[in-house]
Amino acid sequence: MISAGDFRNGITIEYEGNIYQIIEFQHVKPGKGAAFVRTKLKNIINGGVVEKTFRPTEKCPQARIDRKDMQYLYKDGDLYYFMDVETYDQVALNSDTIGDALKFVKENEMCKVCSHNGNVFAVEPPLFVELQVTETEPGFKGDTATGATKPATVETGATVNVPLFVEQDDVIKIDTRTGEYLSRV
């Protein structure tokens, strides 16, 4: 159990039958009345954000989130297959659970599979990936006062905005959190 007075960003709690991660918290001491803790909570299952206030003495059970490194094997129809590299157990997850987390992930790459009480709710791709550009328009010199970009399709099928000097068959580094181009490899 964790009291509301000990809330910090990133802590996961169980509240009203749901699992929430604390995005923001603020201890408020009004001039009149009792102090309270104002929080912004993100439901880790469906992604919804709610605002709640707690008394500092209120207690919530802390939720244990397991993050396990697993290898993404392949996609078959609506299912994505992952393998535990220690036990070689395979897990199939549907596209509702995955969302667009694997937009920049190739087969056989490592991902973190997040679960609570054995129920998988999300997949975290690696922070940075290196992918080959499969299709992009040729860049033209001139015409630009600042860094201009053009769309490029990478080997996973995702589209990324890249600088004009990036050409087809170049390998580029991408930040998977934002989907932005970082550098040429």
Go through the domains of the chain in sequence order and give each one's CATH number. Answer: 2-60 (2.30.30.30), 66-124 (2.40.50.140), 128-184 (2.40.50.140)
- 83-97: pLDDT as tens digits: 988 888 888 888 877
Cβ neighbours of residue 111 closer than 8 Å, sequence gap 6 or more: 69, 70, 71, 72, 82, 101, 102, 105, 123, 124, 125, 126
The model's pLDDT over 5-30, given as tens digits with 9 standing for 90+, comes to: 888 888 888 888 888 888 899 998 98
**Could you tell me the pLDDT band of residue 101, with boundaries at 50, 70 and 90?**
confident
Query: Position of tokens 């490029």?
Result: 152
Write down the pLDDT at residue 145.
58
pLDDT in tens, 148-171: 788 889 988 889 988 888 888 889
